[in-house]
Each structure stands twice: as C-alpha cells, then as structure tokens.
Amino acid sequence: MHHPAFSFVPEEPRRGAPGGRLNGWAIPVKDSTAVAGFTTTDGNPARARVAVKDDPLTRALLAAGADIPALTLTSELGATCYAERPGVPVLESPAYPGRTPGGSSAGAAVAVALGLSRAAHGTDAGGSIRVPAAACEVVGFKAAGSAGPAHGFLTRTVADQFEVLGWARPAPRRLRIGVLTQGLLAPAEVDGRRGGDVDKLAALLGRTHDVVELHPYPEAEATFAHFSHRITHAFARVDPLDSEYLAWCKAQGQRVTPAQLEAAAAHARELPGLLARRWGVDALLSPTLAFDPPPLGYFLSLSPAESFWRQTQWSPWCSLFNMTGAPAIALGPVHLGALTLTGPELLTLAAEAEAVAAEV
C-alpha cells in the first residue's frame, strides 16, 4: 500500500464493523475527509493535522464493514482538477503516461486504475471525482448533493458502484437521453475521438432508449459565472500559504458579493426547471473530457486565471451537475448526468452503457 497515490498509510488500518455488507473491502478515503487518528494534509504537508473524530462518510464506511487502509493524495484543498505542488509526489495517469491523472481525487483514481484498490472514496465539487476517473479511464460516480462537495467512489466497474453504495438495481425503463458533444460551460475544441466515443454509445443506447441531439442551452454562460462565484467564494477565508493559485482564488472569492452569492443560489434552484424546458431529457450523455489529459506541468505553467479557464475548457460538462446537485458518472471518456433520474436509476443506465460499449 506504500505507493505515492496514498498520502498517509497507518501501521494498522481502521477496521470495519464485523458482519457488515462491505466486509472484505479495503476502501481508502480522500485526504480531505477526516479519519480519526490519520494525518490529514488536504494536499499540502504544511496543513498536516491528526484527525480527532471521523467524518460522517468515514463512520458510514466503517459501519458498513469496510476497512480504511489509507488516505489518497488530493490537490491542495481540492482546488484544482490536477494535483501538482512542491513537497508532494506527482502522480501520472496509468492510462496516459507522462500526463496528469486529473484531480482533485487524483490518488483515488490512480489507486483504482493500478488495481491497488477495488474502490476508493472521492469528493466532487466541480468534477473532482469524474475528471480523474476519465483521465485514468476508470468509473467515477458523484452522488446527489446540495451546495458543496458531494461524496462518491471510483471503481473499475459500475457493478462495484452498486456494491459499495448498497443500492438495489431498479427495473430499467425507456428513457429520453440527450447527447451533447459541444462544450457547455466553456467553448471547447472537442477531440474527434472523444466525440466519436459519445456518438457510438448514443447509437447503441438508441436501440432501447429515445436518443436526441442537444445543443448548449442559452443560459449556460450565466451558469458558469454563477458556478465560478460559488467556487471561488469557498476559498475567500483560506490561508493560501505558498500557493499562487489559492491566493488568486481567495482574491476572486473576496470580490464575490452577497447579492452575487444569492443570485448563484437562485440560479441553482431554478436550473432543473430551466433544463427541463430547454432540453426535456432524463439524462445527458457527453464526453467527460474535451481532450486527452495534458502533460504534467501544463496547468502549473499557466497563470491562475488562465489555469482556471483552461481547466474548465478541459471538462466543460461536469460542473453542471454540481450546480443542480444531481448524480453524475464518468465511464472513463464518456459522462452521464441525471436530469430526472435518481442515483440508482442513473447507475442502472450506466451499467447498460457499460455493457453495450463492451460489445464493440
């Protein structure tokens, strides 16, 4: 377990309750989520502290019988969709050597991709589970949630998601699935192969569902502005320490007014209804990433403002589902987000997508 994907490995794992449904599972937790007795760093050793009590997610995993053997590497304070800084090991994608494995749940994605963990916990405030899942070509699911990071897991298969979450599979039904291969929250030049993967899957799903082509809704630019206000405001009171990027986020966040925050909250509340009117679909199928993971060091070479924008262009679809709070899943290069579906219903659709994709 002593791999750089793990930021902290105790002498003995935390043991899950005997007789639980997850007995036999060893599930590392992201190094931003407290596990009592483990040293949490939030992605920077200068932030190290020993957790004194368990996060509710930790308690739930232990109660279900899972062991927690380690914490996984994250980008600092989960602020970026890559994880590179001085004093922290730099991971590369097992699927794209020499390139970023994404973030912020970078260690979780690498551990699953390498087979070091059958499942790993992550959090997702703007794509932080789904971006690394795509960059490492594994499965990453973000559960439904309100404002703030949502919990979820990275696995190799959708079946393992059902097992970890303890959900029964609802009966499949005919759905209306929208297909979007244009950039949504930012204009993006989508790699032809990635758009092609979506088109192939759409054709296969069209055998059992109603599949329609979509275009970005007119208010998408406003959605991105509101999302940016919410994300940067979350860093308005952090100590950036030595991070130029966090210092930029803090400065941007301090400029966000209470009126802008309320407008962002109102937009988020209205978004499901707006999407129902504009698109009228049960789920959205898109690429997860617009292009292959960039080389290590790429995002660090940019100014903070340029990096923020380029990260959005790399993954211009994921954050929509952080604004709506709906569940969403990356099946490696393709992404499914729920518009009307529950988490179990979305996973059922994802399992079908996984199965038909394996046919070709």
Residue range 73-124, pLDDT digits in tens: 999 999 999 999 999 999 999 999 999 999 999 999 999 999 999 999 999 9
pLDDT of 147 strictly over 80: no
Residues 236-256 have pLDDT tens digits of 999 999 999 999 999 999 999
* pLDDT score, position 346: 98
Nearest to 124 by CA among 154, 157, 152: 152
pLDDT of 215 strictly over 70: yes
Nearest to 29 by CA among 67, 84, 86: 67
**What residue ranges in 189-314 does DSSP mark as E strands?**
210-213, 283-287
- Intra-chain end-to-end CA distance of the chain, in Å: 35
SS3 277: helix
* pLDDT score, position 149: 87
Residue 360: pLDDT band by 50, 70, 90 thresholds?
A: low
Residue 10: pLDDT band by 50, 70, 90 thresholds?
A: very high
Strand partners, 124: 150
Decide if 136 contacts 110 (C-beta within 8 A): yes
Residues 180-214 have pLDDT tens digits of 999 999 999 999 999 999 999 999 999 999 999 99
Residue type, 101: P
- pTM, two decimals, is 0.97
Residues 306-339: b if buried by 16+ CB within 10 A, e if exposed: ebbebbbbbbbbbbbbbbbbbbbbbbbbbbbbbb
pLDDT of 5 strictly over 70: yes
Backbone angles phi, psi at 124, to 5 degrees: -150, 110
* pLDDT score, position 1: 64
Decide if 127 contacts 287 (C-beta within 8 A): no
Residues 23-78 have pLDDT tens digits of 999 999 999 999 999 999 999 999 999 999 999 999 999 999 999 999 999 999 99
Decide if 64 contacts 22 (C-beta within 8 A): yes
Which whole-number Å values give the CA distances from 128 to 42, 75, 310, 351, in the listed order?
14, 9, 15, 21
* Cα 218 to Cα 317: distance, rounded to the nearest angstrom: 15
Q: What is the mean pLDDT of the chain?
A: 97
pLDDT of 148 strictly over 80: no
Residues 272-312 have pLDDT tens digits of 999 999 999 999 999 999 999 999 999 999 999 999 999 99
Nearest to 33 by CA among 125, 132, 151: 151
Decide if 38 contacts 71 (C-beta within 8 A): yes
Decide if 181 contacts 337 (C-beta within 8 A): no
Structural tokens at position 9: 């490995």
Decide if 131 contacts 294 (C-beta within 8 A): no
Question: What is the residue whose two structure tokens read 């199965």?
Answer: 355
Decide if 137 contacts 107 (C-beta within 8 A): no
* pLDDT score, position 359: 77
Strand partners, 211: 177
